[in-house]
Amino acid sequence: MADSTGARSESDLPIEPVYDASALAGFDADAKLGAPGSYPFTRGVYPSMYTGRPWTMRQYAGFGTAKESNQRYHQLVKAGTGGLSVAFDLPTQMGYDSDESIAHGEVGKVGVAIDSLDDMRTLFDGLPLDKISTSMTINAPGSTLLLLYQLVAEEQGVAGEQLTGTIQNDVLKEYIARGTYIYPPRESLRLIADIFAYCHKEMPRWNTISISGYHMAEAGATPVQEIAFTIANAIEYVRAAQAAGLHVDDFAPRLSFFFVARTTLIEEVAKFRAARRIWARIMKEDFGAQNPKSMMLRFHTQTAGVQLTAQQPEVNLVRVALQGLGAVLGGTQSLHTNSFDEAIALPTEKAARLALRTQQVIAYETDVTKTVDPFAGSYVVESMTDEIEAAALALIQAVEDKGGAVAAIEQGFQKNEIERSAYRVQLEIDNGERTVVGVNRFVLDQEDHYEPLRVDPTIEADQRARLEALRADRDNDEVKAALGRLQEAARGTDNLLYPMKEALAARATGGEVAHALREVWGTYQPRETF
């Protein structure tokens, strides 16, 4: 069919004004779709999907001190959230302690400050870690936070095999989109492979990585770029684990993914379905996976923070509802809905509760949970799914042609592609081709007053005092010896997580662990791109 309207998708693919049977000429439903819960998992990773129970409703939270965040977690659990999702402040994400000069002004600002076992103990005080699932958005120091969580659980009498949750642990996308990397890419891959092996033995129910397209999308990636670069990174992780001697079916069932849900609902549904099909075939045909769970692309979704506006922030409630609906129709396993005020500041308690209520309305007041993959067979959705699949596979091959994800990162390929897409979108907004309600159309002469949640400026001083007390109270010789053993392992081939756990149990700080590895591995210096 010819495109007579000139309409284009977010991935810059043509959108027809009308789709009919000709769009699916030669479409083989058995090969392309299969049954829900069966290869190639286009229709969902589980046979019953939400007809049995809804997705896990997570709310991303964490700010200020561990004590404040703990109070918010108790509020969310009381409101009915099914899982916690922890946000960490920038120094924690970068492997710095709160009392380091580089951390000044950032402590507790975009998440909770966690410097030590003492802080992690406070963060989860009174929360039953054998009954809740916890997702932690942490990457370069993912091993450190995982081990602190395990140590707190052990203090509660909860064994590692009882713990469920996820660490994001996807450092490759940091080099592409976010920038919170520490070590060079190849050393980071070694640490990730060690996490896979450690969790296979010690924490078998834990999702060892959440391979993330979300942050690339927030940086400007199109839906095609989002899934292509995410899956290319996943391929690199699988290869790294295999090179470390792990069998694909020993670790692949615990891989998970993290995607965005935009307001372009139809394309987002098609994107999720295409991603499942691509991953299933790569795992089966390229890596020889035998376990069906190794072929399942299980993913968490977060609604699109980049599409929220500070202007007329209540309109974000509508955006988030549509985005959340798209994620559910696309078959997500868990979902975080953004609060309407997040374009302005950290969400207030009321805004966070409304975000959770949005998910609950979708789950319990609509009929979208009563049938699996309701868009299956749709002319437009199946056509878009095929087109996104083909475009994403071509982009994955482009990464492979450059030597794989790490080599492409070192050449600046993914970053340049995303920046070009982001520039195109911004031009469309600036010249009015793309409507953003409340920003370039339907604007108000004067915005209503909004009082945002503010972070207590004394948090940094309090964290510094806690660290001073910790270093005075612990056995510093024991800490020094444990960090030495960690460095010795980093110079060799032993799994790093065992000596790292010893150091953290001795109350070494996250910054001290990261610095110990920096001394051995160095830090990553990005290539200049133009």
Handedness of CA 11, 12, 13, 17 (dihedral sign): positive
Element housing 85 (H / E): strand 83-87
Query: b or e along 126-165 (b: 16 or more beta carbons within 10 Å of the residue's beta carbon)?
Result: ebebeebbbbbbbbbbbbbbbbbbbebbeeeebebeebbb
Whose CA is closest to 309, among 398, 442, 403?
A: 442
What is the pairing mode between strands 334-336 and 299-303? parallel
pTM of structure: 0.90
Can you list the residues of the chain whose pLDDT is less than 50?
Answer: 1-4, 530
Pairing of the two strands 133-137 and 164-167: parallel
Extract the tokens encoding 506.
């001795």
d(CA 369, CA 329): 9
Q: What is the pLDDT of residue 62?
A: 66
* Residue (of 22, 517, 57, 32) closest to 324 by Cα position: 57
- Helical packing angle, 315-329 and 265-281, nearest 10°: 30
Closest CA to 300 of 37, 45, 9, 36: 45
Please check whether residue 303 is in contact with residue 263, taking contact to mean a CB–CB distance below 8 angstroms: no
Q: Tell me the H-state helices in 183-258.
A: 185-202, 214-218, 223-243, 248-251
Per-residue pLDDT tens over the stretch 270-320: 999 999 999 999 999 999 999 999 999 999 999 999 999 999 999 999 999
Q: SS3 string of 92-110?
A: HHHCCCCCCHHHCCCCCCC
Helices (H), 5-89: 29-32, 66-79
Interatomic CA distance for residues 154 and 159, integer angstroms: 6
β-sheet with 206-207: strand ranges across: 206-207, 164-167, 133-137, 83-87, 56-61, 334-336, 299-303, 255-261, 209-212
Neighbours of 65 (CB within 10 A): 23
- Give per-residue pLDDT as tens, 437-494: 999 999 999 888 877 767 777 899 999 999 999 999 999 999 999 999 999 999 999 9
Q: How far apart are the first and last CA of the chain?
A: 38
* Full DSSP string of 153-200: HHHTT--GGG-EEEE----HHIIIII----S-HHHHHHHHHHHHHHHH
**CB contact set of 54 (below 8 Å; sequence gap of 6+):** 363, 364, 369
Distance CA 86, CA 95 (A): 16
pLDDT of residue 80: 80
Burial of 112 (0-12, 13-18, 19+ CB in 10 A): buried
Per residue in 31-68, pLDDT (tens digit) is 999 999 999 999 999 999 999 999 988 876 666 789 98
